Structures are given as structure tokens and as C-alpha cells.
């Protein structure tokens, strides 16, 4: 089986699994317990957070909160900020490119009375900085955008966005960097909160991180025992948290190598696929190397996914969350891609386990699938 659905989830690294089991066996204590064993667990917890800060050269204005994944991190950040600012800056800016774990939160905040504005995106799927500038005002309390898009792979100009946002002192910038870590260097300058999910970088499912600059900016949305600065109550999952740091160090330290290897695969696939009549590359130039979205107008994406699946190639239509929904994908629509091309789009996504041999096999199998569907192409 060739696995090319790494934007949905990645294979956990063995040392990450080993760490998870080892800490479960030897340090299963509650870091909040007052005894010696609890203290030991608490020390390890704090040490892991210091290691993360060192990895990214973060100063002490940043705190780290362990969560169950980016969906939770995004919810805690977006609601926490919005609620804190609701009486003096109740406008939120986002784009239609965002993942549902951002868009749906923003929509629910809109139902609660916040004003939501959507910034335009360019044909390349990048935030339109001029439009962002015109939407900004002293009423904006929150701007949220992703670093790397999970469907097309385009990389957002986070530094430029931060510069615009911080012309307005009340505005907070949240970044969903789930698809960025390990694939492109993370940007923290000018960023107030940032979300990650362990299983997207060879960690485990159900582990995530929220980086927060000035923790008091967040109104807690989960109430309980007051763990994690009171913004994420619940007994800390130390084995998960230590395991995610393991995965993170490896991802960050190998970003450059992986990026150059996957860029070669990406270029090779682009050149190969566009030579077939009716095949268009949807991912813009300069997109992250691990994601390649292509459209075969006239064929349904689900038909393609099934055909590849029968040939032992695992890939997806748009994203794992939306591939089961009938509606056209908002991200591709926002970029102005024609409807038929959207309906026939597939996402090939790679990671550190992807090999040259996988790419060669995919190319062979692509020919077979193409032969099956070519009559349908428009
Ligand atoms: N943000 C982006 C860009 C994603 O790709 C995903 C997962 O697909 C998430 C957020 C949510 O992550 P999780 O499902 O691990 O909570």
C-alpha cells in the first residue's frame, strides 16, 4: 500500500510511541499531586515546555498549553480571545481558506453576536493583504489565519499579515500552523497564539499544543481544576505531552532536509501529471512541498479516490473532514477554480516516510486510473 494522505494524518514514529509507553509505565503520576512522584511528573512537564521554547527560541512572554489536538487548540484560542475582547473589539477577521476547526468556531461566534469579516484571497490562494488592510480597524479584536493550507498547500505570508494586524493594538493574531510544522519554518514573530496537532508530524492522534503570548489574554472556555494556567482544565496527559515534544524536535530539526526531498517529488509529479490531457495542477506555485492538489475536470473526486484505492494508493479528495461532505470545497471556490475542476480534484500528500519508489509506483498506477476515466474528462 502506498500512503499519500499525510495531510490527513501521518504514521507515528517508533520513538514517539516508545516515549508514550515509557512515560505511561514509569511516570504515570498526576503532576498536580502533592507527593514526591507528583512533583517528579510536574518537573518533567515543565522541562518539556522549556524544551519547546528552546526549540523555537521563544522568550518568556510565551506559554505552552498541551491540548488534545488542533481542533481544541483553535477553539480555546479563538473563543478565549473573542470573549475577552467582546466589549471593546468585537470584530473578527478570517478567510474562507481556513480549516473547519477555525471556520465553524468563527461562525458560532457570529451567532453569538460577534461581527465576522472574510478577507479576500488571491488566485494563488493567498490572503489579499490590501484587502486585509482595508478591513482592519480599532474594532478588530481577532484575526485568524492558517500558515499552510491543508487542501492546496499554499503558504500564507504570516510576517506581512502580522505587520498589518499589529498596527492596531487591540487586535490579536491567531495562526493555525498544523500543516506547517516540519514542512516549513514556523513563524512566531508577531503571532499571539499558534496551534499544532501531533499526528500531522509523526506524533500521535489526540495530542496538540497551543502557544500563547501573554496567557491572561485568554478567557477560559473549559472550567475545572485549573490546570494549564486555568485555560485547559483537566488532568494533564504527561505521556502524550512528552511524546509530542519528541515528535516535534524531530520534525523541526529535519524541516530543511524533508522540504528539499519532498520538493523534488512534488516537481516530478507536477511535470508528470500535467502531461496527461485534462489534468490540471490546482496547488499554486510556491505551495508547501508535501501537498499537491490536482483536478481532472469531468470525473468525480470520489470516483478517482476509489479507483486509486483499488490500486492500493491511498489519497483523498480535498481534506479528511470535507471529503465526505457533498458541498463544493470552499477553499478551491475561494481561489476561483472552476466547479468541474473542483469536483474532480484529488489531494496527494507526502511526508517523511514517502520514498522515491512510492512516487514511481504512484506514477504507474496513475496511468491505469487515467485509462479508466479518460473518456469522462472534459
Ligand atoms: N487545522 C488544519 C489546517 C488541519 O489540517 C487540521 C486537521 O486536518 C486541523 C486544524 C485539526 O486538527 P485535529 O483534527 O488534529 O484536531
Q: In the chain, what are the domain boundaries? A: 2-7+255-376, 14-250
Is residue 331 within 6 Å of ligand 1 at its C-beta? no
Q: Give the phi and the psi of residue 39 in degrees, each rounded to 5.
A: -65, -40
Name the grid cell of 340: 468541474
* Spacing, Cα 2 to ligand 1 middle (Å): 22
CATH architecture of 2-7+255-376: Alpha-Beta Complex (3.90)
Is residue 179 within 6 Å of ligand 1 at its C-beta? yes
> For residue 249, what are the contacts with CB-CB under 8 A and spacing of at least 6?
51, 55
- Reported as half-sphere exposure (CB side, CA atoms, 13 A), residue 215 has a value of 14
Is residue 70 within 6 Å of ligand 1 at its C-beta? yes
Is residue 227 within 6 Å of ligand 1 at its C-beta? no
> For residue 183, what are the contacts with CB-CB under 8 A and spacing of at least 6?
148, 255, 258, 259, 262, 288, 289, 290
Is residue 177 within 6 Å of ligand 1 at its C-beta? no
Ligand 1 pocket mutation pick from 197, 323, 330, 351 by most atoms within 8 angstroms of CB: 197
pLDDT single digits (tens) 90-143: 999 999 999 999 999 999 999 999 999 999 999 899 999 999 999 999 999 999
Q: What sections of 86-210 are H helices per DSSP?
A: 100-111, 129-135, 158-165
Domain 14-250 CATH (choose: 3.40.50.11540, 3.40.640.10, 3.40.50.170, 3.60.15.10): 3.40.640.10
Q: Count CB neighbours of 355 within 10 A.
A: 13
Atom of ligand 1 nearest to the CA of 73: 16
pTM equals 0.96
* Spacing, Cα 39 to ligand 1 middle (Å): 33
Q: Count CB neighbours of 17 within 10 A.
A: 15
Radius of gyration of the chain (CA): 21
Place of cell 510536574: 42
* Spacing, Cα 320 to ligand 1 middle (Å): 9
As annotated, the active-site residues are: 321
The residue whose CA has the least distance to atom 10 of ligand 1 is: 70
Atom of ligand 1 nearest to the CA of 197: 15
- Reported as half-sphere exposure (CB side, CA atoms, 13 A), residue 260 has a value of 3
Averaged pLDDT for residues 20-40: 98
Q: Count CB neighbours of 119 within 10 A.
A: 22
The residue whose CA has the least distance to atom 9 of ligand 1 is: 70
Give the helix/strand (H/E) hosting 58. none
pLDDT band at 321 (very low <50, low <70, confident <90, very high): low
pLDDT band at 328 (very low <50, low <70, confident <90, very high): low
Name the grid cell of 126: 493567498
Q: How far lies 31's CA from each of 42, 206, 237, in Å?
A: 4, 19, 9
* Predicted pLDDT at 326: 47
pLDDT single digits (tens) 270-306: 999 999 999 999 999 999 999 999 999 999 999 999 9
Amino acid at each position: 500500500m502506498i500512503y499519500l494522505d499525510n495531510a490527513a494524518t501521518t504514521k507515528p514514529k517508533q520513538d514517539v510511541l516508545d516515549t508514550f509507553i515509557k512515560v505511561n509505565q514509569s511516570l504515570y503520576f498526576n503532576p498536580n499531586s502533592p507527593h514526591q512522584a507528583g512533583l517528579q511528573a510536574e518537573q518533567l512537564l515543565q522541562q518539556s515546555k522549556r524544551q519547546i521554547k528552546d526549540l523555537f527560541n521563544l522568550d518568556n512572554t510565551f506559554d505552552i498549553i498541551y491540548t488534545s489536538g488542533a481542533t481544541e487548540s483553535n477553539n480555546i484560542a479563538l473563543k478565549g480571545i473573542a470573549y475577552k475582547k467582546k466589549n471593546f473589539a468585537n470584530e473578527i477577521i478570517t478567510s474562507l481558506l481556513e480549516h473547519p476547526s477555525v471556520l465553524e468556531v468563527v461562525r458560532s461566534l457570529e451567532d453569538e453576536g460577534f461581527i465576522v469579516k472574510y478577507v479576500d484571497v488571491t488566485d494563488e490562494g493567498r490572503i489579499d493583504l490590501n484587502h486585509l488592510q482595508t478591513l482592519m480597524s480599532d474594532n478588530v479584536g481577532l484575526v485568524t489565519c492558517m500558515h499552510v493550507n491543508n487542501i492546496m498547500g499554499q503558504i500564507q505570508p504570516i510576517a506581512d499579515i502580522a505587520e498589518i494586524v499589529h498596527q492596531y493594538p487591540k487586535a490579536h493574531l491567531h495562526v493555525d500552523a498544523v500543516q506547517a510544522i516540519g514542512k516549513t519554518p514556523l513563524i512566531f514573530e508577531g503571532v499571539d497564539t499558534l496551534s499544532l496537532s501531533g499526528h500531522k508530524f509523526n506524533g500521535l492522534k489526540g495530542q496538540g499544543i497551543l502557544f500563547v503570548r501573554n496567557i491572561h489574554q485568554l478567557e477560559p472556555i473549559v472550567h475545572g481544576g485549573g490546570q494549564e494556567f486555568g485555560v485547559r482544565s483537566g488532568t494533564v496527559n504527561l505521556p502524550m505531552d512528552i511524546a509530542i515534544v519528541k515528535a516535534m524536535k524531530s520534525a523541526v530539526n529535519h524541516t530543511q532536509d524533508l522540504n528539499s526531498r519532498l520538493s523534488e517529488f512534488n516537481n516530478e509529479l507536477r511535470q508528470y501529471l500535467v502531461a496527461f490531457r485534462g489534468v490540471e495542477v490546482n496547488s499554486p506555485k510556491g505551495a508547501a512541498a508535501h501537498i499537491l492538489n490536482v483536478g481532472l475536470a469531468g470525473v468525480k473526486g470520489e470516483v478517482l479516490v476509489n479507483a486509486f484505492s483499488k490500486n492500493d494508493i491511498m489519497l483523498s479528495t480535498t481534506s479528511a473532514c470535507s471529503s465526505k461532505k457533498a458541498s463544493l470545497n470552499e477553499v478551491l471556490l475561494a481561489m476561483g477554480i472552476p466547479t468541474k475542476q473542483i469536483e474532480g480534484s484529488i489531494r496527494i500528500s507526502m511526508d517523511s516516510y514517502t520514498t522515491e519508489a512510492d512516487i514511481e509506483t504512484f506514477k504507474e498506477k496513475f496511468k491505469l486510473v487515467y485509462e479508466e476515466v479518460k473518456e469522462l474528462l472534459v
